[in-house]
Amino acid sequence: MMLHTIPMKTEEKTTASQEQLEEAFRIADEVREEVSRLSREERANLESAAHAVIRGARSARATCRAGH
């Protein structure tokens, strides 16, 4: 197991209403049950996609910093 961390501190929040967050929580509960029914391969694919999103954001931020 290898831990990954990227030292960037630009913390950006998402504007939300109470209703929107409650809806997100409800869907998150559904997804928790869905994920437990997925095959190992499907879960691995999801995880790889999540890592790609994180890497993409890191790359975009690095490009943005270099541009300034």
Of positions 14, 63, 67, 68, contacts another protein by CB under 8 A: 14
Dihedral, CA of residue 41, residue 50, residue 36 and residue 32, to nearest 10 = -160
Of positions 1, 39, 63, 66, contacts another protein by CB under 8 A: 1
The answer to whether 39 contacts another protein (rule: CB under 8 A) is: no
Exposure string over 46-59, b if 16+ CB within 10 A, otherwise e: eeeeeeeeeeeeee
9 vs 68 by CB, closer to another protein = 9
The answer to whether 65 contacts another protein (rule: CB under 8 A) is: no
- Tokens 């910093």, residue located: 65
Q: Report the SS3 class of residue 35.
A: helix
| Residues binding another protein (CB under 8 A) | 1-18, 20-21, 23-25, 27-29, 31-36, 38, 40, 43, 46-47, 49-51, 53-54, 56-58
